[in-house]
């Protein structure tokens, strides 16, 4: 069974950077598309970025294009999200998972807080 553990969250000033990590245990299928999502208080969970577990094809939400970079090391079973030029609107709990259902059980997420 695939398990997900997010880490690397924190509190930063606007314009700062953070790198999130998602440790993936188990054996993801080679055709999985892995993704980062985020959920702010009172808001629905939204897609942030996705990448194929095997291969380098990636995609981003318009709100983060040019600022965030998704990457992975499939041999090390780790997904990353490099977040630059952070804005207060990026404040949310960030989760990793497959890009679409059926989802793996959700981890606890990583809190990202961006102050102005």
pLDDT band, residue 95 (cuts 50/70/90): very high
SS (H, E, C) 31-92: CCEEEEEEECCCCCCEEEEEEECCCCCEEECCCCCCCEEEEEECCCCEEEEEECCCCHHHCE
Task: Identify the pLDDT of residue 73.
Answer: 92
Task: Identify the pLDDT of residue 74.
Answer: 83
pLDDT digits (tens, 9 = 90+) for 68-80: 999 999 889 999 9
pLDDT digits (tens, 9 = 90+) for 25-79: 987 777 889 999 999 999 999 999 999 988 889 999 999 999 999 999 988 999 9
- Closest by Cα among 77, 2, 76, 4 to 37: 4
Q: What is the mean pLDDT of residues 74-97?
A: 96
């Amino acid at each position: 069974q695939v398990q997900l553990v997010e880490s690397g969250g924190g509190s930063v000033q606007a314009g700062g950077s953070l790198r999130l990590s998602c440790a993936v245990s188990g054996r993801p299928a080679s055709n999985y598309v892995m993704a980062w999502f985020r959920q702010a208080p009172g808001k629905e969970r939204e897609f942030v970025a996705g990448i194929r577990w095997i291969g380098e094809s990636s995609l981003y939400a318009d709100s983060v294009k040019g600022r965030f970079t998704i990457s992975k090391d499939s041999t090390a079973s780790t997904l990353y999200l490099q977040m630059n030029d952070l804005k207060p609107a990026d404040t949310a709990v960030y989760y990793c998972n497959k890009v679409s259902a059926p989802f793996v059980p959700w981890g606890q997420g990583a809190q990202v807080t961006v102050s102005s």
